[in-house]
Structure formats: structure tokens, C-alpha cells
Amino acid sequence: MEEKNYWLHRISHHAEVSHPLLEKGYLTIGFSDLLRIDNFIELMKAKDWEFFEEANMKVWNSKGRARYSLWRFIKEFKVNDWVLVPSWSTFSVYRITSDVQVISSLNNLNLKDWNGIDIKLIDGYLYRDDVKIDLGFYIQVELIEKDISRDKYAQDALISRMKVRQTNVCISDLKVDIEKTVTAYKEKKTVELYSSIIDSLADSLLSSLQKLTPDRFEKLIKWYFEKMGAYPVDIPHKNESGKEEGADADIKAIFKSLKLIFYIQAKKHRGETSQWAVEQISRYKDQKEVIDDDYTYATWVVSTGDSYTTEAHELAKKTNVRLIDGLEFAKMLIDAGLTEIDRAFIT
């Protein structure tokens, strides 16, 4: 039997649709414009890189770096391979059970996005209302383990590899680490030393975060996104022109290669964070989406507080806003590395 490979594959592109599809066993990727080429999948399986390059030029008149991810998805992902799909502090592991297929082959989807809006298949493309969703291809997968904590179960090398920014990458060199991690999760055997150190450091770091001024807290979040590879990262003016009443974002971070924009609301306080922060950032995104509709959007609230109110959690679920409390953000900073953190405050 051919030895299986191990892959890392991100599904942040149209996350509001790709995650619900994954829950149904469909792992997706974008590039739907290539569906204009008749029998594209069959031709890809029969032909080589030269055909793939020609197809990219025909559709986009360019050869973007992201095309390598589609090549791997179509030509290199194989049945029985394992795929790790990372989330913000966890990851899930799946086994591939089918060859790649075009999105138009999905039937009887009965699918809704994160906001409860129906997703329909029209003329071979996915649509939400009248807006086309750029997801062109999928493979079927079965779940091995879901939402494994990086901090508690993953080895250092695997944690580090999950920071790569490409859509997908082969991580077969970490086969032993991956299988050890899955086994440890099944047996609930945490990486005690790493986890305990992180918890201890996070408590201490959070105490320091709570002493920052609101302006310095915003600068620290800006620094975090820069360290994670975003460019540009800006702190919009408080009196930003054209901003609608009740709409606000404290940081805007762009990952150009991923066509991904983050809008972040920063809340510097103790105790619970209310739903107002969620309202501000979701209104801001709704306003900006009309202007920057070539991008996928992610909205965060980052607080130094201990928790969020029940109302905040309920509204965040409806509006697809990620809530990060003070302790979680402290762990994110530690995971990113604290070297040169003071540069965050150099203006």
C-alpha cells in the first residue's frame, strides 16, 4: 500500500461557507474562475504543469503564487492522506476519502452559512443571495479528531509549522509528531510542561497588559498582526471620515496574499466585555465590505478583560465576530514570540 502523506490546509477563504461545508465532510478551495474551462478536472488529471500554467494565463492573464496550492490540492492530495485544518488555537485532523471534484457536483446541499443564510448551487457555482462564493473545488474527508488544542497536545515543531501562511503545504516530515499528537489527544495526555509554562507566563503577561493605556494596547495588537505577516497594518483615525454611527475599528490588518482583511476592536479594561464592542466591529465590517468586496473579512474583538457577557457571545455568533479575552490574547502573544515586543510602542 502506498504510504500516505500529511498536509496542512487552511480554509479561511470564505470561512463563513467553507467551515459549514467541512462539517458536512467537504474540504474546499477557491479558484472557481477556472470552472470556465470545460472538463478542467479531467484535463488536469491527464495533463501536466504546462497545461495548468496555460489555464491560469487564460483565466487571469497571470501566474499568482497561490496557484501552487491549487496544484497540490488537485494533483497531490490522495485518498487516505491526512489533512490538518488549523483554527485559531486548535486544529482538526481528517482523512481524504475521494478524489478532487468540482463544486457543481454537490447535490442537495441543504447548507447555510454561519449567519443562517441559505447557500444555493446555481449554474455550477455557490451563491449566497445574489453573491457568488469563490469556492471551486472540494474533496471528501472523514473526521479523525476535532478541535485539538495546540498548546496542550501538539509538539513544538508542529505548532511552529501551523504558523505558515500558505493555503496548504506538505508536512509529511512531521508524521511522527502528528500521530503522537492525535494519540495523546485520544488518551487525553497533555504536553504538561509546555502547557503549564504557557499558563504561568500568560497570567503574568496579562497582568502587564492590564497596565497599558488604551493607545498602547492598540499598538500592541498592531504589532502582533505585523509579526504574524500582515501588511499594511493601520490604526484608523478615531474621526475617520465616512464612518457610520456606531461603526468602529481600532486596527485594520491586511494579508494581501490571502486576500484577507482583519478588522479589530480593542477593549482595554477589566471584568466582562459587553456586546457594544461586537456591534461596533460588525457595523464597521458591514460598511467596509461594500467598498472592499474583493477580500474575505475577519472581525475580532480583543479585550484585556476576563470574559464576555452572554449577550456579547450571542451577538458574536450571529455576526461571525471572534471574541478574544485577555488570557487568550496573552497566550497568542507568547506563541508569536515576545522578542522585540517593545518595538510595538515606538512611533
Q: What is the pLDDT of residues 177-231, one digit of tens each?
A: 999 999 989 988 887 666 677 778 899 999 999 999 999 999 999 999 999 989 9
Question: How confident is residue 156, by pLDDT bands cut at 50, 70 and 90?
Answer: confident
Share of the chain above pLDDT 70, in %: 96
Range with the poorest average pLDDT among 4-8, 132-136, 181-185, 284-288: 284-288
CA distances from 129 to 95, 116, 119, 132, 339 (A): 32, 12, 8, 8, 46
The whole-angstrom separation of Cα 82 and Cα 6 is: 5
Kindly report whether the global pTM for this prediction surpasses the value 0.85.
no
Question: How confident is residue 308, by pLDDT bands cut at 50, 70 and 90?
Answer: very high
Q: Which residues contact 147 (CB under 8 A, 6 or more apart)?
A: 87, 90, 91, 92
The whole-angstrom separation of Cα 337 and Cα 328 is: 14
Residue 1 clears pLDDT 60, i.e. is over it:
no
Q: What is the DSSP letter of 19?
A: H
The whole-angstrom separation of Cα 208 and Cα 204 is: 7
Residue recorded with cell 474527508: 141
Q: Which residues contact 21 (CB under 8 A, 6 or more apart)?
A: 27, 28, 111, 135, 138
Is the distance from CB of 218 to CB of 250 less than 8 angstroms?
A: yes
- The CATH classification of domain 6-189, taken from the options 1.10.287, 2.160.20, 1.10.3470, 3.10.590: 3.10.590
The alpha-helical segments, DSSP class H, found in 32-161 are: 40-46, 49-60, 67-71, 150-153, 156-161
The whole-angstrom separation of Cα 290 and Cα 294 is: 9
How large is the angle between the packed helices 276-289 and 310-319, nearest 10 degrees? 10
Closest CA to 7 of 91, 59, 84, 110: 84
| Residue 185: predicted pLDDT | 92
Closest CA to 320 of 240, 273, 262: 262
pLDDT tens track for 39-59: 999 999 888 899 999 999 999
| Residue 291: predicted pLDDT | 60
Q: What is the CATH number of domain 193-345?
A: 3.40.1350.10
Q: State the average pLDDT over residues 231-245.
A: 83
Residue 266 C-alpha cell reads as 480593542
Is the distance from CB of 262 to CB of 284 less than 8 angstroms?
A: no
Share of the chain above pLDDT 90, in %: 65
Residue recorded with cell 463544486: 103
Q: Domain extents for the chain? A: 6-189, 193-345
Task: Please give the mean pLDDT across all residues of the chain.
Answer: 90
The whole-angstrom separation of Cα 218 and Cα 86 is: 26
The alpha-helical segments, DSSP class H, found in 210-262 are: 214-227
CA distances from 82 to 186, 187, 235, 337 (A): 16, 20, 40, 29
The whole-angstrom separation of Cα 147 and Cα 92 is: 5
Q: State the average pLDDT over residues 162-185.
A: 92
pLDDT tens track for 259-305: 899 999 999 999 999 999 999 999 999 888 766 567 888 999 999 99
Closest CA to 163 of 278, 265, 255: 255
The one-letter code for the residue type at 216 is R
Q: State the average pLDDT over residues 313-331.
A: 94
- Assign 170 to helix, strand or coil: strand
Q: State the average pLDDT over residues 95-114.
A: 89
The one-letter code for the residue type at 40 is F
| Residue 2: predicted pLDDT | 67
DSSP assignment of 29-57: E--GGGGGSTTHHHHHHHS-HHHHHHHHH
Q: State the average pLDDT over residues 306-319.
A: 93
